[in-house]
């Protein structure tokens, strides 16, 4: 049986969307309204399908997104999504063919990185992706939290606002926040339409209107946004309402603290579930009793693959001045080679191919991806034999440069 893997044409779209649904184990029925709402946001030139006797049995697409890297620069990236292979056609190399096409196209377009959110951990390492920004979810027992008192700079106010306010003012706030959060990407209007319920796509997850709150500083500037839902639950005459944080982003430490303090002290709410936060989110530090914040889940989230290593290494900043040479192994070739990074005292760096210089550390492109945004340490990789030191202390030297004071945080999935 021959399977045709190719870029989509307009007439393929409804069958392709149907295949995506089936690939994610959802019912296959796709309405005209859904097609109309989704189609403008799918760039057919960046979408692939596999066709068996004319029927779409596998899907794959990418979108241009900017990823923030340590130091606040952004790099154009190919954000891969809707990767599915029908259960009837799995493990025949179909996803591998589509990935090979995509990586070649990414290189052709000049995007230095590809990124994705992996449904399952073992899928993408073989394609040179590494887990680059993880997430942790906590649940907080508010009765035990013992919130510490506010600091002097929390002199703004939290106000409850309407979805329309969020649609209007959220994007500007998010732009400020995501540039401070390595691992985060830009959002489009559609993201905000879906978040605020302005557009509801049939066939997607049903939208439940969250409660929205802004934090405004003393001058009235919006520095933070929280969105949350609460289940109105009672045990006898006692309220036991769980609150779920859908979003909490803040451009300043005062806004971040004030919004957590607000969410953790709402009457009737006995449990706060935080949603996906950075591994080193500050929330637990605000509690007098940190054991009140228990981890529900701590895992990989954003995966990253280098296409242009020198460009990526030169885009981020470094924690210390100095030079290291990395020998990068990549069976696909895109990221393979020896690269010298030289960081200046101000943290900026140059990076170039250095094929004839002795390396300090040898590692795969996937493992370098885990170091790139500050999620992993070279010493840990060397300890488990995933990075090879050419001389004692080489991994620690790499860490001295690559270390970041905060962990990366991919605010959004896609
Ligand atoms: C994940 C998925 C896209 C893989 O498609 P596929 O066509 O079966 O993948 P391939 O045949 O190209 O697999 C290539 C290799 O990856 C391995 N692999 C693929 N999916 C895997 C998984 N979920 N877990 C472990 N290994 C996996 C295969 O065993 C194969 O290994 P091999 O070369 O050593 O034999 C497909 O199984 C699927 O649609 N799953 C459900 C939806 C999903 O999870 N999509 C990913 C969203 S991020």
Q: pTM of the entire structure?
A: 0.97
Q: Does the Cβ of 79 fall within 6 Å of ligand 1? A: no
Ligand 1 centre distance from Cα of residue 224 (Å): 39
103 is a domain residue: yes
236 is a domain residue: yes
Q: What is the mean pLDDT of residues 13-35?
A: 96
The answer to whether 245 and 272 have CB atoms below 8 angstroms apart is yes
Q: Where does a domain end: 77, 111, 145?
A: 111
Q: What is the mean pLDDT of residues 21-32?
A: 94
Q: Where does a domain end: 298, 333, 366?
A: 298
The percent helix, strand, coil of the chain (3-state, each to 5) is: 30, 35, 40
Q: At residue 38, what are phi and psi to the nearest 5 degrees? A: -90, -35
216 and 354 within one domain? no
222 and 140 within one domain? yes
- pLDDT exceeds 70 at position 166: yes
318 and 393 within one domain? yes
372 is catalytic: no
331 and 294 within one domain? no
Ligand 1 centre distance from Cα of residue 86 (Å): 11
> Within 13 Å of residue 342, how many CA atoms lie on the same side as its CB?
4
- pLDDT exceeds 90 at position 156: yes
Q: Locate tokens 């401070």: which residue?
A: 180
- The gap from C-alpha 110 to its chain's centroid, in whole angstroms, comes to 21
Q: What is the pLDDT of residues 50-77, one digit of tens each?
A: 999 999 999 999 999 999 999 999 999 9
- Atom number in ligand 1 closest to CA 24: 42
220 and 142 within one domain? yes
Average pLDDT over the chain reads 97
CATH number of the domain where residue 202 is located: 3.40.630.30
Q: Does the Cβ of 122 fall within 6 Å of ligand 1? A: yes
- pLDDT exceeds 90 at position 204: no
Contacts of 235 (CB under 8 A, 6+ apart): none
> Maximum Cα–Cα distance for the chain, whole Å?
75
User: Any idea what DSSP says for residue 185?
Assistant: B
- The gap from C-alpha 209 to its chain's centroid, in whole angstroms, comes to 23
Q: What is the mean pLDDT of residues 233-261?
A: 98
Helix (H, G, I), strand (E, B) or coil at 40: helix
Q: What is the mean pLDDT of residues 357-376?
A: 98
Please state, for a pLDDT cut of 70, what percent of the chain lies above it. Answer: 100
129 is catalytic: no
β 337-343/74-85 pair status:
unpaired
27 and 72 within one domain? yes
338 and 257 within one domain? no
Query: Bridge partners of 74?
Result: 68
93 and 164 within one domain? no
The answer to whether 345 and 372 have CB atoms below 8 angstroms apart is no
Number of domains making up the chain: 3
Per-residue b/e over 263-287, b at no fewer than 16 CB within 10 Å?
A: bbeeeebbbbebbbbbbebebbebb
Distance CA 42, CA 157 (A): 40
162 and 292 within one domain? yes
Q: How far is CA 76 from CA 41, 106, 109, 113, 213, in A?
A: 18, 10, 10, 7, 31
Poorest-pLDDT segment among 134-143, 198-207, 315-324, 395-404: 198-207
170 and 285 within one domain? yes
CATH number of the domain where residue 388 is located: 3.30.1050.10
328 and 268 within one domain? no
Look at residue 1 in the predicted model and tell me its pLDDT. Answer: 58
Ligand 1 centre distance from Cα of residue 102 (Å): 16
Ligand 1 centre distance from Cα of residue 302 (Å): 18
Per-residue b/e over 359-385, b at no fewer than 16 CB within 10 Å?
A: bbbbbbbbbbbbbbbbbbbbbebbeee
- pLDDT exceeds 70 at position 351: yes
- pLDDT exceeds 80 at position 186: yes
Q: Does the Cβ of 95 fall within 6 Å of ligand 1? A: yes
Segments forming the whole domain that contains residue 390: 313-402
277 is a domain residue: yes
Q: DSSP per residue over 236-304, as a string?
A: TTEE-EEEEEEEEEESSHHHHHHHHHHHTT-TTEEEEE--SB-TT-SGGGGBSSGGGEEEEEEEEEEEE
The answer to whether 138 and 291 have CB atoms below 8 angstroms apart is no
Q: What is the mean pLDDT of residues 328-353?
A: 98
Q: Where does a domain end: 271, 298, 325?
A: 298
Say which of 13, 51, 60, 124 is annotated catalytic. Answer: 124
293 and 149 within one domain? yes
Ligand 1 centre distance from Cα of residue 91 (Å): 6
118 is a domain residue: no
131 is a domain residue: no
Classify burial at 392, counting beta carbons within 10 Å of its beta carbon; exposed 0-12, middle 13-18, buried 19 or more.
Answer: exposed
Reported confidence tier of residue 384, pLDDT bands at 50, 70, 90: very high
Pocket test for ligand 1, best of 119, 123, 305, 331 (most atoms within 8 A of CB): 123
Atom 10 of ligand 1, residue of closest alpha carbon: 93
Pocket test for ligand 1, best of 25, 82, 95 (most atoms within 8 A of CB): 95
262 is a domain residue: yes
- Atom number in ligand 1 closest to CA 86: 39
394 is a domain residue: yes
Atom 25 of ligand 1, residue of closest alpha carbon: 122
119 is a domain residue: no
- The gap from C-alpha 392 to its chain's centroid, in whole angstroms, comes to 34
């Amino acid at each position: 049986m021959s399977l045709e893997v190719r870029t989509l044409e307009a007439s393929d779209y409804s069958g392709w969307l149907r295949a995506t649904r089936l690939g994610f184990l959802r019912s296959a029925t796709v309405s005209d309204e859904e097609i109309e709402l989704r189609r403008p946001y799918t760039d057919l030139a960046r979408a692939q399908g596999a066709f068996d006797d004319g029927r779409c049995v596998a899907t794959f697409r990418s979108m241009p997104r900017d990823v923030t890297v340590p130091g606040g620069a952004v790099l154009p990236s190919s954000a891969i999504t809707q990767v599915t292979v029908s259960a009837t056609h799995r493990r025949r190399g179909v996803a591998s063919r589509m990935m090979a096409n995509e990586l070649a196209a990414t290189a052709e377009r000049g995007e230095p990185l590809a990124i994705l959110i992996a449904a399952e951990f073992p899928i993408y390492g073989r394609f040179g992706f590494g887990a680059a920004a993880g997430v942790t979810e906590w649940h907080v027992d508010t009765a035990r939290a013992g919130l510490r008192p506010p600091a002097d700079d929390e002199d703004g106010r939290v106000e409850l606002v309407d979805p329309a306010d969020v649609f209007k003012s959220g994007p500007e706030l998010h732009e400020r926040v995501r540039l401070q959060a390595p691992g985060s990407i830009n959002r489009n209007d559609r993201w905000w339409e879906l978040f605020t319920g302005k557009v509801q796509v049939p066939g997607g997850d049903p939208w439940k209107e969250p409660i929205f709150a802004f934090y405004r500083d003393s001058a009235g500037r919006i520095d933070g946004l929280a969105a949350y839902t609460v289940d109105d639950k009672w045990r006898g005459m006692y309220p036991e309402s769980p609150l779920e944080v859908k979003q909490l982003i803040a451009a300043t430490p005062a806004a971040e603290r004030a919004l957590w303090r607000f969410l953790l002290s709402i009457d009737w709410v006995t449990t706060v579930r935080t949603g996906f936060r950075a591994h080193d989110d500050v929330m637990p530090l605000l509690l007098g009793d940190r054991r009140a914040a228990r981890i529900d889940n701590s895992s990989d989230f954003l995966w990253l693959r280098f296409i242009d290593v020198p460009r990526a290494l030169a885009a981020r900043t470094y924690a210390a001045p100095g030079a290291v040479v990395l020998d990068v192994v990549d069976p696909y070739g895109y990221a393979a080679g020896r690269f010298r990074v030289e960081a200046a005292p101000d943290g900026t760096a140059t990076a170039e191919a250095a094929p004839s210089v002795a390396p300090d550390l040898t590692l795969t492109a996937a493992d370098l991806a885990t170091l790139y945004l500050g999620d992993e340490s070279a010493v840990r990789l060397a300890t488990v034999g995933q990075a090879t030191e050419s001389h004692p202390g080489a991994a620690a030297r790499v860490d001295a440069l690559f270390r970041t004071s905060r962990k990366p945080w991919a605010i959004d999935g896609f």
